[in-house]
Amino acid sequence: MAEEKQKKQSRFEALKMEFSKIVWPSGKSVTKQTIATVVVSIVLGLIIALIDMLVQYGVDLLMSL
């Protein structure tokens, strides 16, 4: 039982050491990446909407023939 407790404790110590190695991005970097993600998402959404409208127009045109 003592051996199991020691294993758990060593695991937590190893986990603590790994967490101390994490390098978190700065707030400025996170803000830039968030803005870039939102802008790219909006642009791609507009492109997909445009393609959808063009395809719908084409289908409507073919159906009216």
Q: What is the pLDDT of residues 6-55, one digit of tens each?
A: 666 788 888 889 999 999 999 999 999 999 999 999 999 999 999 999 99
Per DSSP, 23 falls in state -
Q: How far apart are CA 22 and CA 13, in angstroms?
A: 15
What is the pTM (predicted TM-score) of this model?
A: 0.64
Distance CA 10, CA 61 (A): 70
d(CA 27, CA 9): 33
Runs of H (alpha helix) within the chain: 2-20, 27-63
Residue closest to 45 by CA, chosen among 53, 57, 33, 34: 53
> For 49, which DSSP code?
H
